[in-house]
Chains A and B, each alone.
Chain A
């Protein structure tokens, strides 16, 4: 059986792999931390990879950003806020100290 290394030595890859692939982790990390695509472009340039903004955006899309953990910071915050609000309402509904008018309103609409 051929090992990966021996196979690689004999037959070079024919499919083109994005130069960004090497920086996948860093790109994900920077984006998750709220860095803009332009800033990521600067980071890549500093590492010798000159790419356009479109190329970075395309790379992100290919990573299935929408359904991965790589949500845009704003949409993630909005999602968290939705969850938080729902939890707050549940807490309010079950709070024995809450006024009856609010309790009745929440019971009707949740």
Chain B
């Protein structure tokens, strides 16, 4: 599905609904998993979200934070989509920055194929702004809502399911996003630890580290080992996200055929 698009714009009229998570953690992981290169343009007058300095997938040279009044944004994005082979993620900033971003992205010609992502969370009031954003964008065929933060039974989103909206993807709630961000990398990077070093080797390393005078200091060992287990959980989290996304893409493609 993503091969049909050159640019992915993440728009949120309200803050705290998962826009940064979608732009900097979820979409980079999905694109990476599907073998696409990507660049991130953050259009924001106040924030700079590129704090992922320890990430191996978000590299400083592939991220740019620009102000909404930067007259060259459009030409920069157009140039990137024409000259480069990377997908472009546009992180639309919050509130008025997102409104401005919508008009900037819309002003980019139709040659650049655009996908609009609108995150929302479990607060139904925030979904009203998501609807507002979609009306502003006015491109329903290429707009997807991103349901952020579902738990096991998803009951907190019953109000949303009742609306029978079809164009949405689901992202589970997880503290691992936050944990990764604290270490200045993404959840994708966290997952890499367990993929790089097998569990048996980690156990040996930690035993060596925490054995003093022939006695294993259990508490420290367990604490450190739990940190490693987070990496395995991060890999599971990503698998869930990838499956959700694939299922959605499959459904969308079947609907198109119909």
A residues contacting B by CB (< 8 A) are 82, 85-86, 88-89, 92, 98-102, 104-106, 108-110
Are the CB atoms of A101 and B192 closer together than 8 Å?
yes
Inter-chain residue pair count (beta carbon < 8 A): 55
Assess whether B208 is interfacial by the CB under 8 Å rule: yes
CB neighbours of A108 from chain B (8 A): 224
Binary interface encoding of chain B residues 126-141 relative to chain A, with 1 for a CB under 8 A from any of its CBs, else 0:
0000000000000000
Q: How far is the CA of A61 from the CA of B200 in the complex (A)?
A: 31
Q: Can you give 22 A-B contacts (C-beta < 8 A)? A: A82-B204, A85-B200, A85-B201, A86-B208, A88-B201, A99-B56, A100-B55, A101-B54, A101-B55, A101-B185, A101-B189, A101-B231, A104-B183, A105-B193, A105-B227, A105-B228, A106-B205, A108-B224, A109-B205, A109-B206, A110-B205, A110-B208
Assess whether B113 is interfacial by the CB under 8 Å rule: no
CB neighbours of B196 from chain A (8 A): 92, 98-99, 102
A36: min CB distance to chain B, Å: 27
Are the CB atoms of B193 and A102 closer together than 8 Å?
yes
Assess whether B209 is interfacial by the CB under 8 Å rule: yes
Q: What class of interface size applies to chain B in its complex with A?
A: 20 to 34
CB neighbours of B224 from chain A (8 A): 108-109
CB neighbours of A101 from chain B (8 A): 54-56, 183, 185, 189-190, 192-193, 231
Q: How far is the CA of A86 from the CA of B203 in the complex (A)?
A: 11
Chain A residue nearest to B209 (CB atoms) is A109
User: A99 contacts which of B189, B200, B206 (Cβ < 8 Å)?
Assistant: B189
Assess whether B197 is interfacial by the CB under 8 Å rule: yes
A80: min CB distance to chain B, Å: 12
Give the residues from 196 to 251 in chain B that come closer than 8 angstroms, CB to CB, to chain A: 196-197, 200-201, 204-206, 208-209, 224, 227-228, 231
